[in-house]
Structure 1
Amino acid sequence: MKRIAIVTTLTLALLFSYAAGAQDAPTVDEIIQKANHVAYYQGEDGRARVKMTITDRQGNNREREFVILRRNMDDKDEEQRFYVYFQQPADVREMVFMVWKFLDKDDNRWLYLPALDVVKQIAAGDKRTSFVGSTFFYEDVSGRGIHEDTHELVDVTDNFYVVKSTPKAPGSVEFDSFTTHIHKTTFIPVKMEYEKGGNVYRVGEAKKVETIQGFPTVTQSVMKDLDAGSETTLDYLKVEYEMDIPDNIFTERFMRRAPRQYLE
């Protein structure tokens, strides 16, 4: 009888322990929301100086340098302004890419071409095309809406949550699904694999991570096109948060007339 009581007590203890652990574990939606916040929304605003290196199949390199400015328009990760100013080389100098991000409708994206003095709106269908000739897409740079996909937690390892995301509108994208390895402590998306027809054709990885002003921050990332044999590396040379960037920077006026004081 005493043995039965001990076994019962141990069983109940294990059950309560499991239940407590289950309550502590985040849901897949919470994981995705935290990862999206860490990747794109930390701090009220931010600035990053970036060097892009594009490497083709033969190992030839092309470089671009630009500054990213961003500002959150609320505290719910629902609306954001995003501004990219190109500094080098000469053929893209003073070009500007700007995004107004929204939760419940398509983002607005524009490209300013200084040689023509033209501001061109980027169609929603073009957001998954090459960003200035690199293996990153426009959407990779400014972020993909988390509500555009359904998410499934497919694995949990010692260090990562592994989430499979499937597009709700498959005809609007080139992939069937993508799998993201999200660090369990920082919630940084460390690796993303895009799949089409059962084959992984595109892989993005965070290669270096630093803590800057208390925020875990990716300081080097790589996107590989496995079919083309090319890749692009982004080195974040200087990242700053809480810059008090004014809202009016993110307008057509400042696409044509760059806000120099925020680009130095």
Structure 2
Amino acid sequence: MKRLLLLFVLLFLWPAGQLLAAPDVEQIVEQANRAAYYAGRDGRADVHMVIYDAHGGTRERRFTILRLNVAGDDQKFYVYFKAPADVRKMAYLVWKHVGGDDDRWLWLPALNLKKRIAPGDKRTSFVGSDFFYEDVSGRGLEEDVHELVGETETAWLVKNTPKDPGSVEFAWYQVWIDKATSLPVKAEYHDREGKLYRRVSAARIETIQGYPTVVEAVAEDLRAGTRTVNTFSNVKYDIGLKERIFTERFLRRPPREVTR
């Protein structure tokens, strides 16, 4: 009886969190990926992009982005630029393939040119901003080794190391994932010398149609001293987008879903 009483006292005094099994990091990153990129069956948003240079100057972009979930967790994205004049009518199409290389096309109306973006270029600047092409559709979970390295009361801290270091410019990056929403709220990228050189963060989150949604995102190039702010408006989910929109045909002739 004394042993049982002692065991009960120890269990009562021991921190509850230490009695539970450590969370599975793969489950954490999977939930974060779904929260960030898979809300609803489809979605759309208008985006106001402001690019700040190191001297305080600014450039702006306005575009609409459409997203459709298809079979096997693959996705399709369509981005149509509306302003300013130098990028107006430019279009960007992504066919995201889980476990394989994505297909990406860029339509440049000023040059009457349809450009295929090579897989090796996915981590280059998206229309002159501090965001990358890869940021639009997300990085494949299978491309990195994930390690849970810390936590706070509100967030998990996950370190991600690329399986193919030669294919990317970073040595590793860490992501803070909000426990309440599963959304990634900050990512910091480190170079091969261990120096922090890039940061992407969620500056503002709102719940839209029941889905926690990033409505303001910031990307910073800490070496160059530049940053880009994306503000999302008119966000809608489950609007019944058709897969035919997400084809090369509509690069030249944008669908009404982005022009109206």
Match of 1:6? 5
1:8 shift after superposition: 2.6
Match of 2:65? 68
How many residue pairs match? The answer is: 259
Match of 1:205? 201
For 1:202 and 1:16, locate their aligned partners in 2 and report how far apart those are by CA, in whole Å. Answer: 37
Match of 1:230? 226
1:103 shift after superposition: 1.1
Matched residue SS, 2:20: helix
* 2:203 matches 1:189: no
Which runs of 5 or more structure 1 residues have no equivalent in the other structure? Answer: none
Matched residue SS, 1:97: strand
For 1:86 and 1:201, locate their aligned partners in 2 and report how far apart those are by CA, in whole Å. Answer: 29
TM-score, normalized by length of structure 2? Answer: 0.95
Match of 2:45? 48
Give the counterpart letter for 2:104 in structure 1. Answer: R
1:119 shift after superposition: 1.3
For 2:202 and 2:17, locate their aligned partners in 1 and report how far apart those are by CA, in whole Å. Answer: 33
RMSD: 1.8
What whole-Å deviation, never above 9, does each CA across 1:66-120 have from its counterpart, x for those lacking one? Answer: 000010003x5x2000010000000000101110001121000100111222211
1:133 shift after superposition: 0.3
Give the counterpart letter for 1:52 in structure 2. Answer: M
* 2:112 matches 1:117: yes
For 1:199 and 1:162, locate their aligned partners in 2 and report how far apart those are by CA, in whole Å. Answer: 18
Aligned counterparts, 1:19-38, within 5 A: 21-22=20-21, 26-38=23-35
- Identical-pair percentage: 51
Q: 1:244 aligns with which of 240, 247, 258?
A: 240
TM-score, normalized by length of structure 1? Answer: 0.93
What whole-Å deviation, never above 9, does each CA across 1:5-25 have from its counterpart, x for those lacking one? Answer: 421333466789668632xx6
For 2:8 and 2:128, locate their aligned partners in 1 and report how far apart those are by CA, in whole Å. Answer: 64
* 2:174 matches 1:179: yes
Give the counterpart letter for 1:21 in structure 2. Answer: L
